[in-house]
């Protein structure tokens, strides 16, 4: 069995390499010619740990810019193309529709192929994809990944769960792929459901996590304004010790950011509104996240009574990543610069992407370090 993958970006390349490592022949495509040429040479420019090592050791993976070839030669085809957010919070799935068109344009298409949609889509989109491919012998599954930037390889190998939406010829084979990816680790729980239920599950998980993050930050604000900021960690640890709640994501700090949480939260809010939910937790969580950014700005300015320059240890949305997307650290940095403060950063890895007013040299005077 040969596995195909269309969209070998930050997540796609990790999944493709792990599938190859699990013993499958893999053919992966991407529409960026220079990027593919480098992959063919065994070279990748990424901040994701372990990816270069896996690529260097891979013997049974090919790279191409030809989606048609991937579809024609492979039995199971994953697609992890970009689905950017629209103004109403929903996802633009036009890139997935281009993949659907590619399936239709394969000259000779044998039966019993499966398209595995792994990128985030709107609830109901995969039903539309399947309808567009009816009478072709192609089964459409929805199979979202639950990973964090900066640990994609590790997260894929240590999945808590695998969601498989759909029902077709390769359902058991898809489950086996994920069992083999675990590489000796405990097999994840696998949940089978409809594609639409799987699409809702994906964005609902991230919406719940953003709610938990916002709850911790709200409680931190309450304790700060009550004169008990030195007890925030202890209070949250005690609450997280309750098994019904859990400690993960229950920590006071910057609000949620990055390429997934904010947009998935808004997408869940958008879908909830469309089906008639009036008291929309997704909208409230998003609004609080915005308010928390303003709260932290005022907090740090108040604490910096000497009006010293500020020092950031990193500007990405979280440590050990190179992603500025909706980073509240970077937002705070810009706010402080606009207030007239001098700002230093000890990590220069994102210098070319950041405001030119930021100073990366070691401070020679006393500074106020940004930390929570």
- The CATH number of the domain holding residue 326 is 3.40.50.720
Does 187 reside within a domain? yes
Q: Is residue 275 within 8 Å of residue 281, measured between CB atoms? A: no
> Does residue 254 sit in the same domain as residue 188?
no
Does 13 reside within a domain? yes
> Does residue 23 sit in the same domain as residue 156?
yes
Residue 60 clears pLDDT 70, i.e. is over it: yes
**Which one, of 99, 163, 158, 162, lies nearest residue 132 by Cα?**
99
> Does residue 174 sit in the same domain as residue 315?
no
DSSP string, 205-266: HHHHHHHHHHHHHHHHHHHHHTT-GGGHHHHHHHHHTSTTT-STT---SSPP-TTTHHHHHH
The residue to which tokens 């919406």 are assigned: 207
Phi, psi (degrees; rounded to nearest 5) at 92 = -85, 105
Res 320: pLDDT: 83
Res 10: pLDDT: 95
Q: In a 10 Å sphere around its CB, with 0-12 CB exposed, 13-18 middle and 19+ buried, how is residue 126 labelled?
A: buried
Q: Which one of 151, 171, 193 terminates a domain?
A: 193
> Does residue 82 sit in the same domain as residue 161?
yes
Res 64: pLDDT: 98
> Does residue 285 sit in the same domain as residue 178?
no
Q: What is the largest CA-CA distance in the chain?
A: 73
What pLDDT band is residue 47 in, cutting at 50, 70 and 90?
confident
Estimate to the nearest angstrom the gap between the alpha carbon of 308 and the chain centroid. 36
**Which one, of 272, 288, 292, lies nearest residue 280 by Cα?**
272
List pLDDT tens digits, range 64-74.
999 999 999 99
The residue to which tokens 């590790």 are assigned: 154
Res 15: pLDDT: 98
The number of distinct structural domains making up the chain is 2
List pLDDT tens digits, range 121-164.
999 999 999 999 988 889 999 999 999 999 999 999 998 899 99
Quickly list H helices, the chain: 10-21, 33-40, 51-57, 67-73, 94-105, 125-132, 152-157, 171-181, 195-225, 232-240, 261-274, 281-303, 328-338
Does 238 reside within a domain? no
Q: What residues contact 267, with CB distance under 8 A and at least 6 apart?
A: 85, 89, 90, 91, 120, 122, 203
Does 18 reside within a domain? yes
Q: Is residue 174 within 8 Å of residue 116, measured between CB atoms? A: yes
> Does residue 181 sit in the same domain as residue 258?
no
**Which one, of 170, 163, 258, 248, lies nearest residue 212 by Cα?**
248
**Distance between CA atoms of residues 4 and 46, nearest Å:** 22
Q: What residues contact 174, with CB distance under 8 A and at least 6 apart?
A: 76, 114, 116, 141, 143, 164
Residue 42, domain extent: 2-193
Q: Is residue 174 within 8 Å of residue 191, measured between CB atoms? A: no
The residue to which tokens 């106020």 are assigned: 368
> Does residue 189 sit in the same domain as residue 126?
yes
Using CA atoms, how far residue 128 sits from 103, 182, 195, 266, 268, in Å, is 14, 32, 10, 22, 19
Res 137: pLDDT: 85
Does 285 reside within a domain? yes
What pLDDT band is residue 112 in, cutting at 50, 70 and 90?
confident
> Does residue 52 sit in the same domain as residue 156?
yes
> Does residue 28 sit in the same domain as residue 153?
yes
Q: Is residue 285 within 8 Å of residue 343, measured between CB atoms? A: no
> Does residue 162 sit in the same domain as residue 302?
no
Q: Is residue 165 within 8 Å of residue 135, measured between CB atoms? A: no
> Does residue 252 sit in the same domain as residue 173?
no
What pLDDT band is residue 52 in, cutting at 50, 70 and 90?
very high
Res 365: pLDDT: 93
Lowest mean pLDDT among 66-80, 273-287, 293-307: 273-287
Other CB atoms within a 10 A radius of the CB of residue 41 amount to: 10
What pLDDT band is residue 182 in, cutting at 50, 70 and 90?
confident
Q: Kindly report the pTM of this predicted structure.
A: 0.92
Q: Is residue 184 within 8 Å of residue 18, measured between CB atoms? A: no
Other CB atoms within a 10 A radius of the CB of residue 308 amount to: 15
Provide mean pLDDT across the span 336-365: 96
| Average pLDDT over the chain, rounded to an integer | 94
Residue 91 clears pLDDT 90, i.e. is over it: yes
Using CA atoms, how far residue 117 sits from 17, 175, 268, 285, 305, in Å, is 17, 15, 18, 28, 52
**Which one, of 334, 352, 353, lies nearest residue 343 by Cα?**
334
> Does residue 259 sit in the same domain as residue 169?
no
Q: Which one of 173, 193, 213 terminates a domain?
A: 193
Does 213 reside within a domain? no
Residue 216 clears pLDDT 90, i.e. is over it: yes
Does 125 reside within a domain? yes
Does 356 reside within a domain? yes
Q: Which one of 193, 215, 233 terminates a domain?
A: 193
């Amino acid at each position: 069995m040969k596995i195909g993958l269309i969209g070998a970006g930050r997540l796609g390349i990790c999944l493709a390499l792990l599938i190859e490592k699990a013993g499958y022949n893999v053919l992966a495509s991407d529409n960026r010619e220079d990027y593919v040429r480098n992959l063919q040479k065994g070279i990748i420019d990424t901040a994701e740990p372990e990816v270069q090592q896996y690529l260097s050791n891979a013997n049974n993976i090919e790279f191409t810019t030809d989606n048609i070839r991937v579809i024609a030669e492979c039995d199971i085809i994953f697609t992890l193309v970009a689905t950017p957010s629209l103004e109403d919070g929903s996802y633009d799935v036009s890139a997935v529709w281009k993949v659907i068109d590619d399936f239709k344009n394969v000259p000779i298409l044998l039966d019993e192929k499966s398209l595995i949609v792994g990128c985030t889509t709107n609830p109901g989109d995969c039903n539309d994809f399947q309808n567009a491919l009816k009478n072709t012998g192609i089964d459409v599954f929805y199979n979202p990944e639950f990973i964090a930037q900066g640990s994609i390889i590790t997260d894929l190998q240590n999945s808590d769960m695998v969601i498989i939406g759909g029902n077709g010829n390769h359902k058991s084979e898809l489950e086996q792929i994920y069992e083999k990816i675990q590489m000796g680790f405990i097999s994840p729980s696998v949940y089978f459901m409809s594609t639409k239920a799987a699409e809702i599950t994906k964005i609902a998980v991230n919406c719940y996590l953003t709610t938990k993050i916002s709850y911790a930050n709200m409680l931190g604000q309450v304790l700060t304004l009550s004169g008990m900021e030195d007890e925030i960690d202890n209070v949250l640890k005690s609450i997280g010790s309750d098994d019904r709640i859990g400690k993960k994501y229950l920590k006071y700090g910057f609000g949620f950011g990055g390429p997934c949480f904010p947009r998935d939260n808004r997408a869940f809010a958008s879908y909830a509104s469309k089906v008639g939910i009036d008291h929309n937790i997704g909208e409230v969580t998003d609004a609080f996240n915005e308010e928390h950014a303003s709260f932290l700005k005022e907090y740090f300015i108040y604490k910096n009574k000497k009006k010293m320059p500020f020092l950031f240890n990193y500007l990405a949305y979280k440590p050990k990543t190179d992603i500025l997307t909706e980073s509240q650290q970077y937002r705070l940095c810009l706010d402080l610069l606009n207030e007239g403060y001098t700002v230093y950063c000890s990590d220069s890895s994102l210098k070319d992407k950041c405001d030119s007013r930021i100073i990366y040299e070691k401070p020679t005077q006393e500074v106020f370090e940004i930390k929570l």
